[in-house]
Structure 1
Amino acid sequence: MVEKNLMILVVVVVVDVLFIVVIDVVVVAIVERVVVVVVVEVVVVVVVVVVVVVVVVIVLVVVVEVVVVVVAVIVVVVVVVVVVVVVVVVVAAVVVVVVIVYLPNQ
Structure 2
Amino acid sequence: MFDEHCLVVLYVMRTALWPSVVVVVVVVAVVVVVVEVVVMVVLVVIAAVAVLVVVIVVVVVVKGVVLVVVVLVVVVLVVVVVAVVVVVVVVVVVVVVVVVVVL
User: Normalising by the residue count of structure 2, what TM-score does the alignment of the two structures yield?
Assistant: 0.48
Structure whose alpha-carbon radius of gyration is higher: 2
User: Normalising by the residue count of structure 1, what TM-score does the alignment of the two structures yield?
Assistant: 0.47
